[in-house]
């Protein structure tokens, strides 16, 4: 028995060590102990034997565990499924590693380095996804191995304590069978765990290579950025410049190798898929029916195409689809291979020229065509990028050609009277002057030996000019599509668009142009090699702040909070305006429901946006709970009235006794409800004053709503006639006068009654109704005039009070 226990203990230690190795994760670097961290000695765990009454239940549980292990081992081996992906990542890293050493990276062009950095980042993301999948696939094996080791230790301790000696032989045999099955399952798990551990070791080494490659490439790019103002080659007039030619075969091999790496990167990138590629495919697919349908509608109804941008965008639907699809690639796949980016920009070349507005083309003259031609010539330089000397001469010739064309176009622009008119040329001329200065600096830098600066300035000027052309054409196409959509009867007939069409067009166009400008600025900063330094400086400024205990305030948090709050406010305001304009059109909604929905949506978005802004700024939920708790205490002591008004505002929005536009009498004020807020309601009096009435007063006091269910109002006119008049005739005359008055309703009909005997006249009341509450004063005035005219025409006397005054002289004193 002792030998059996010792053998089991040794197997337990071996399997435990194997399981521990499998739980280390990918790479030994993650499992290494820090030199400054002392090793922690764990006390041995004492295994408690089973009680006698637990043996049967535990035997059933362990039998189920053994069944689970059997099903796990009978399934497909995850190592077989995970290995191909890791092999693909390894092959990509191997191809990158040919250029990853520091010595070789010194001579690599910066564009190739940028592409290499993207490829390292792409492989790192692929490896992260693989690592997550590996943990999900391998963790069941390690978990089951640990559980088996624990159960075996418990059964061994139970047997060692002699608890099984008193059991019937049948139960003892079952326990022995379970122990044997556990050992057999552990033996079956050991090869799988060994294969998984070997694969994890490979993954760990690959992860280290990825980190080293990313760091080396980033250092090479940073070194180029730091040495941008230093001479990196001899001057052009130096003899060494013309003696150090690269072998043509070597240059061709280097270019071919670079093209192979880029092609493989593009293939791996698109094979990997991802949410951004799915979104891109969806956008490109949806653009086809949208542009096709709008183009068909515009051609069928030519009057719709009165706008030049609409006509140009939809008369050339293929160019519009190509340009917008290529722009979607740049927006949705910012980390795509540079080969894909260059291919996309080349495809967008012709559509961009075709979709430029005619007025812009007339103002710019030859500028767009020069920008496109220079971009194409610049991309031809990839053929000589392997020969440094030849590539330098190519860059010098390109800079000289670009400078000459820029100066020629500037001279033509100044000499032309048409182009001197205010317009886009006000911005193009100063920009062209700056371009000429930059190109002149590039020519001088190339000649004196700073080829890196010359290449950066020349390519930056050409690329940013071409990108500005593409973005402007794309913005014009989007404006045209939006204009065609807004012109559709289903949209143009909307009350919201009818009332705010001008402002919506201005806001939409400005927002689109601002987005294009921001995108162009980021692209320009990237091409001129200033984005990385600015990003690092901005990141350091972003982290500036103060930390006091658990409270930390940084500049970045404040900026995020302000921006999120601003965005929530304007989003809520715009949505409330839209709902208030559109919801009243639906007759199925109860009275006032549209305003309540709009207001509640407004406040809900504000509150949600404020909470998200606080969360984005770094506030934790516990801190927010503390703040709200303090607010609750303050409310309990001093803000009861505010809370009462707030709750009353919610009740008003739910019950809807009033809505904007109602005529009400409340708190000694009469007027029209202008706005219903959460705290107070604004009433516009008939005299023109705005009265702010707390919502609590509206619910606690008497509220008279003259227009709650309709806008019908009764008018009452009191008429006094002489005592000799016939009451029947008077009533007939009054009813005739009311019936001939414009604005008086026929249903309910006017009525007239004798209501009393006055001191000098019989009192009659004429009551009439009008459905136009807004014209109540005019209808009442007309009714009074018609009544007086009818009474006079009938010869009925309207008496007036007479007062007799008797004057008495004072009596003389006796």
pLDDT in tens, 268-281: 888 877 788 888 88
Tell me which of 425-434, 556-565, 694-703 is least confident.
425-434
Angstrom distance (rounded) from CA 257 to CA 96: 10
Other CB atoms within 10 Å distance of the CB of residue 288: 12
CA distances from 602 to 567, 624, 678 (A): 13, 22, 11
Task: Write the CB contacts of 195 (distance below 8 Å, at least 6 apart in sequence).
Answer: 77, 79
Determine the average pLDDT of the residues in 127-156. 89
pLDDT of residue 20: 39
pLDDT of residue 241: 57
Angstrom distance (rounded) from CA 683 to CA 691: 5
Determine the average pLDDT of the residues in 285-310. 74
Angstrom distance (rounded) from CA 768 to CA 784: 11
**Which letter does DSSP use for residue 668 in this model?**
T
Q: How confident is the model at residue 760 (pLDDT cuts 50, 70, 90)?
A: confident
pLDDT of residue 194: 92
Q: What percent of the chain has pLDDT over 90?
A: 12
Average pLDDT, the chain: 79
How far is C-alpha 684 from the chain's CA centre? Answer: 39
Higher pLDDT among residues 494 and 704, named by residue = 704
**Which letter does DSSP use for residue 702 in this model?**
-
Is the preceding peptide bond at 665 cis, omega within 30 degrees of 0?
no
Q: How confident is the model at residue 14 (pLDDT cuts 50, 70, 90)?
A: very low
Place of tokens 């008495």: 808
CA angle 236, 238, 239 (to 5 degrees): 120
Highest-scoring range by mean pLDDT, 446-460, 574-588, 637-651 = 446-460
At residue 246, does pLDDT exceed 60? Answer: no
Higher pLDDT among residues 690 and 165, named by residue = 690
Determine the average pLDDT of the residues in 355-376. 82
How far is C-alpha 386 from the chain's CA centre? Answer: 43
CA atoms within 13 A on the CB side of 62: 28
Kindly report each contact of residues 361-369 with a partner whose C-beta sits within 8 Å and lies 24 or more positions away, as own/partner: 362/418, 363/419, 363/423, 363/424, 363/425, 364/424, 364/425, 364/428, 365/409, 365/412, 365/413, 365/416, 365/419, 366/409, 366/412, 367/409, 367/428, 367/432, 368/469
**Which letter does DSSP use for residue 1 in this model?**
-
| Paired strand residues for 147 | none
Q: How confident is the model at residue 440 (pLDDT cuts 50, 70, 90)?
A: very high
Angstrom distance (rounded) from CA 678 to CA 615: 25
| Paired strand residues for 552 | 547
Residue 584 · residue 660 · CB < 8 Å = no
Task: Write the CB contacts of 456 (distance below 8 Å, at least 6 apart in sequence).
Answer: 110, 228, 527, 528, 529
- SS3 for 208-253, per residue? HHHHHHHHHHHHHHHHHHHCCCCCCCCCCCCHHHHHCCCCHHHHHH
pLDDT of residue 23: 39
Determine the average pLDDT of the residues in 797-805. 76
For 22-44, what is each residue's pLDDT tens digit?
433 434 333 333 344 444 444 45
Report the side by side order of strands in the sheet with 680-685.
Answer: 690-694, 680-685, 669-676, 663-666, 704-705
pLDDT of residue 303: 47
Kindly report the backbone phi and psi dihedral angles of residue 386, in degrees, each rounded to the nearest multiple of 5, phi listed first: -75, -25
Place of tokens 């008497």: 702
pLDDT of residue 438: 92
Gap between the terminal Cα atoms of the chain: 156
Instruction: Domain ranges for the chain, please list them.
Output: 2-29+44-226, 239-536, 558-705, 713-793
Angstrom distance (rounded) from CA 369 to CA 239: 38
Q: How confident is the model at residue 1 (pLDDT cuts 50, 70, 90)?
A: very low
Which of 519, 427, 422 is CA-nearest to residue 478?
A: 519
Place of tokens 């033996």: 187
Tell me the two tokens of residue 413. 């622009």
Tell me which of 161-170, 586-595, 782-791 is least confident.
586-595
pLDDT of residue 8: 37
Residue 446 · residue 403 · CB < 8 Å = no
pLDDT of residue 258: 65
DSSP 711-747: --EEEEEEEEE-TTS-HHHHHHHHHHHHHTSTT--SS
Other CB atoms within 10 Å distance of the CB of residue 593: 17
Residue 377 · residue 334 · CB < 8 Å = no
Max CA distance (Å), the chain: 157
Tell me which of 83-97, 149-163, 299-313, 762-776 is least confident.
299-313
CA angle 372, 469, 518 (to 5 degrees): 140
Tell me the two tokens of residue 1. 């028995």
For 182-221, what is each residue's pLDDT tens digit?
888 888 889 989 999 999 999 999 999 999 888 888 888 8
Kindly report each contact of residues 618-622 with a partner whose C-beta sits within 8 Å and lies 24 or more positions away, as own/partner: 618/552, 618/554, 618/557
Angstrom distance (rounded) from CA 773 to CA 314: 49
Angstrom distance (rounded) from CA 343 to CA 338: 8
**Which letter does DSSP use for residue 617 in this model?**
T
Tell me which of 132-146, 227-241, 327-341, 754-768 is least confident.
227-241
Residue 55 · residue 171 · CB < 8 Å = yes
Per DSSP, the three-state class of 664 is strand
pLDDT of residue 202: 92
* pTM for this predicted structure: 0.71
Determine the average pLDDT of the residues in 721-725. 86
In CATH, the architecture of 713-793 is: 2-Layer Sandwich (3.30)
CA angle 476, 480, 482 (to 5 degrees): 115
Kindly report each contact of residues 666-670 with a partner whose C-beta sits within 8 Å and lies 24 or more positions away, as own/partner: 666/693, 666/697, 666/698, 666/701, 666/702, 666/703, 666/704, 667/691, 667/693, 667/697, 667/701, 669/693
Higher pLDDT among residues 378 and 110, named by residue = 378
| Paired strand residues for 134 | none
Residues found in the chain? 814
Place of tokens 């790019």: 221
pLDDT of residue 18: 39
> What kind and span of H or E run contains 765?
strand 762-770
Higher pLDDT among residues 552 and 283, named by residue = 283
Tell me which of 133-147, 456-470, 687-701 is least confident.
687-701
Tell me which of 204-208, 392-396, 464-468, 608-612 is least confident.
608-612
Determine the average pLDDT of the residues in 113-138. 89
Which of 371, 291, 368, 293 is CA-nearest to residue 325?
A: 291
Tell me the two tokens of residue 113. 């380095």
> What kind and span of H or E run contains 534?
helix 531-542
Highest-scoring range by mean pLDDT, 32-46, 412-426, 483-497, 606-620 = 606-620
Residue 719 · residue 791 · CB < 8 Å = yes
For 736-750, what is each residue's pLDDT tens digit?
888 888 888 888 888
CA distances from 412 to 417, 419, 595 (A): 10, 9, 60
Per DSSP, the three-state class of 768 is strand
Q: What percent of the chain has pLDDT over 70?
A: 80
Higher pLDDT among residues 247 and 754, named by residue = 754
Tell me the two tokens of residue 357. 């507005």
Angstrom distance (rounded) from CA 601 to CA 575: 8
Q: How confident is the model at residue 667 (pLDDT cuts 50, 70, 90)?
A: confident
Would you call 144 exposed, middle or buried from its count of C-beta atoms within 10 A (0-12, 13-18, 19+)? buried
pLDDT of residue 541: 84
For 313-358, what is each residue's pLDDT tens digit?
788 889 999 999 999 998 888 888 888 888 899 999 999 988 888 7
Residue 425 · residue 364 · CB < 8 Å = yes
Angstrom distance (rounded) from CA 324 to CA 280: 11
315-327 burial: b if 16+ Cβ within 10 Å, else e: bbbebbbbbbbbb
Residue 762 · residue 719 · CB < 8 Å = no
pLDDT of residue 439: 92
């Amino acid at each position: 028995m002792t030998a059996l226990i010792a053998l089991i203990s040794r197997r337990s230690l071996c399997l435990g060590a194997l399981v521990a190795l499998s739980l280390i994760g990918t790479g030994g670097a993650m499992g290494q102990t820090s030199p400054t961290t002392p090793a922690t000695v764990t006390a041995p765990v004492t295994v408690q034997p089973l009680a006698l009454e637990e043996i049967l239940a535990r035997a059933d549980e362990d039998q189920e565990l053994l069944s689970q292990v059997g099903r796990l081992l009978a399934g497909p081996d995850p190592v077989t499924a995970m290995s191909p992906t890791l092999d693909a990542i390894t092959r990509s890293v191997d191809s990158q590693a040919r250029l990853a050493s520091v010595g070789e990276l010194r001579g690599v062009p910066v564009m190739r380095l940028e592409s290499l950095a993207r490829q390292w980042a792409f492989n790192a993301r692929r490896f992260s996804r693989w690592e997550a999948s590996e943990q999900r696939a391998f963790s069941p094996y390690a978990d089951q191995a640990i559980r088996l080791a624990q159960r075996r230790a418990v059964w061994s301790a139970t047997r060692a304590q002699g608890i099984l000696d008193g059991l019937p032989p049948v139960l003892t045999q079952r326990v022995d069978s379970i122990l044997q099955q556990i050992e057999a399952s552990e033996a079956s798990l050991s090869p799988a765990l060994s294969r998984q551990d070997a694969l994890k070791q490979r993954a760990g080494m690959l992860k280290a290579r990825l980190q080293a490659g990313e760091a080396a490439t980033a250092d090479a790019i940073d070194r180029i950025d730091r040495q941008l103002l230093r001479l990196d080659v001899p001057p052009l007039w130096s003899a060494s410049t013309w003696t150090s030619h690269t072998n043509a075969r070597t240059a061709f091999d280097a270019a071919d190798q670079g093209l192979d790496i880029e092609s493989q990167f593009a293939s791996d990138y698109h094979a990997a898929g991802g949410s951004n590629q799915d979104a891109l495919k969806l956008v490109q697919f949806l653009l086809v029916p949208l542009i096709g349908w709008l183009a068909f509608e515009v051609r069928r109804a030519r009057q719709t195409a009165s706008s030049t941008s609409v006509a140009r965008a939809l008369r050339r639907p293929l160019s519009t689809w190509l340009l917008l699809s290529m722009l979607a690639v740049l927006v949705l796949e910012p980390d795509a291979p540079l080969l894909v980016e260059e291919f996309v920009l080349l495809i967008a070349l012709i559509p961009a020229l075709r979709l430029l507005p005619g007025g812009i083309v007339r103002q710019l003259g030859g500028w767009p065509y020069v920008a496109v031609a220079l971009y194409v010539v610049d991309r031809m330089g990839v053929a000589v990028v392997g020969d440094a000397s030849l590539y330098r001469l190519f860059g010098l010739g390109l800079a000289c050609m670009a400078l000459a064309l820029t100066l020629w176009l500037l001279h033509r622009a100044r000499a032309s009277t048409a182009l001197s008119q205010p317009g886009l040329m006000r911005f193009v001329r100063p920009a062209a002057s700056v371009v000429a200065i930059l190109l002149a600096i590039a020519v001088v830098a190339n000649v004196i030996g700073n080829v890196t600066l010359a290449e950066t300035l020349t390519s930056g000027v050409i690329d940013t000019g071409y990108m500005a052309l593409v973005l402007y054409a794309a913005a014009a196409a989007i404006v045209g599509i939006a204009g065609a959509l807004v012109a559709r009867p289903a949209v143009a007939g909307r009350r919201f668009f009818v009332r705010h069409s001008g402002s919506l067009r201005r806001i939409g166009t400005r927002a689109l142009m601002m987005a294009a400008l921001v995108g162009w600025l980021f692209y320009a900063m990237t091409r001129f090699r200033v984005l990385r330094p600015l990003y690092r400086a901005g990141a350091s400024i972003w982290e500036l702040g103060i930390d006091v205990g658990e409270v930390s305030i940084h500049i970045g948090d404040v900026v995020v909070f302000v921006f999120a709050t601003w965005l929530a406010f304007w989003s809520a305001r715009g949505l409330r305006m839209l709902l208030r304009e559109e919801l009243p059109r639906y007759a199925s909604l109860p009275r006032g429901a549209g305003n309540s929905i709009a207001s509640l949506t407004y406040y809900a978005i504000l509150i949600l946006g404020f909470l998200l802004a606080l969360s984005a700024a770094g506030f934790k939920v516990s801190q927010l709970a503390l703040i709200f708790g303090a607010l609750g205490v303050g409310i309990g002591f001093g803000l009861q009235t505010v809370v009462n008004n707030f709750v009353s505002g919610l009740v008003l929005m739910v019950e809807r006794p009033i809505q904007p536009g109602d005529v009400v009498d409340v708190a000694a004020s009469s007027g029209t409800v202008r706005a219903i807020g959460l705290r107070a309601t604004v009433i516009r009096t008939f005299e023109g004053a705005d009265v702010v009435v707390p919502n609590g007063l509206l619910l606690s006091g008497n509220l008279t709503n003259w227009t709650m269910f309709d806008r019908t109002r009764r008018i009452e006119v009191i008429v006094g006639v002489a005592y000799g008049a016939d009451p029947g005739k008077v009533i007939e005359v009054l009813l005739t006068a009311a019936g001939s008055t414009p604005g008086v309703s026929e249903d309910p009909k006017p009525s007239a009654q004798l209501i009393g005997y006055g001191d000098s006249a019989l009192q009659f009341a004429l009551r009439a109704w009008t459905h136009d509450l807004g014209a109540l004063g005019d209808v009442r005035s007309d009714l009074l005039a018609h009544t007086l005219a009818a009474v006079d025409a009938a010869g009925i006397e309207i008496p007036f009070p007479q007062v007799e005054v008797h004057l008495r002289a004072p009596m003389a004193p006796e």
